[in-house]
Amino acid sequence: SSRTPAVEAEEKSVDDGGVEKREIDLGKRGPGDGTDGHGQGVPASESSPTTSSGPQGLDFESFASTSAALPSEADLVAQSRSDKQVALDLLQKHSVMREILSARLGKVRAVGGVWGNSGDLRKTVQYILALKDKSVLVDLIGPVLKRKQLLKLDVVCTLIPAVCDLLASREHDKWTEVSLASLSEMHALFSDLIVSICSMSARAGAQRGGIDLHFEQKLEYCQAARDRLLALRPHLLALQKHHQENVAQGALHLNEQLAVYAPTA
């Protein structure tokens, strides 16, 4: 017999398990085609996501470009020139920085040569200070203070004013940190000796029989170091309000240490 366009095939045979095969209607549309399987339409929101125009709940309007019109050719050319200028500026600054660092490295190597040839820490420190380069002082103050077995009172008293000047300059936070740490370390090593010598009178040497030039010299640079440290205290009070906590804490600690140099009533 002829079949309708709906192509209905009805089979009523029994399979091996004895289960009757049900009617297969190839003409009826089921889920996913916009109907309920009985030819009845269903709302678009209830249709299968696989046949909808996009993922459910996704607002494509929110992804639409809200920018102005595309840049013109003139704008692109101007931007290209601007990028080239930035690159040129960076290259020029790189050249200047390379020269600065090369000169700095040369000075550090020269100091190393002085130390290697003489092994004299005092002479090496004098050479460092003669360079009048704060960056070199920052580079080398740490290695100098590590030579504790070679550190003498005259070397420390020579370094203290230079490091105080470095701290007072406040040119870079790194310099400030290094200065605070170095002054605190020198104080811990030699404060007792400096206080002791400053408390003595040059007359004590004369009473022992004549003028002691060596003692007077020590007294002179100990007093100079003490006075320079005391003059630093107002600056340390300001640094205690520094935005970096380690700098503020370092300034507070050093200011407390320097109280031993203050004159007693």
pLDDT of residue 226: 92
pLDDT of residue 47: 45
- Give average pLDDT by consecutive 10-residue segment, the chain, 265 residues: 48 46 47 50 48 54 57 68 72 78 92 91 94 93 92 92 90 90 94 89 56 81 91 91 90 93 73
pLDDT of residue 67: 55
Q: Are 158 and 226 in contact (CB under 8 A)?
A: no
Q: What amino acid occupies position 158?
A: T
pLDDT of residue 91: 72
DSSP 262: S
Instruction: Tell me how many helices (H) and strands (E) the chain has.
Output: 9, 2
Up-side HSE of residue 82: CA atoms within 13 Å toward CB? 6
CA–CA dist 251, 255 (Å, integer): 6
Q: What is the pTM of this model?
A: 0.62
Cα–Cα–Cα angle for 42, 48, 49, nearest 5°? 135
pLDDT of residue 71: 65
pLDDT of residue 113: 94
CA 239 to chain centroid: 20
How many other C-beta atoms lie within 10 A of the C-beta of residue 191? 17
Exposure string for 121-143, b = 16+ CB within 10 A, e = fewer: beebbebbeeeebbbbbbbbbee
Task: Determine phi and psi for 123, rounding to 5 degrees.
Answer: -65, -40
Q: Are 187 and 157 in contact (CB under 8 A)?
A: no
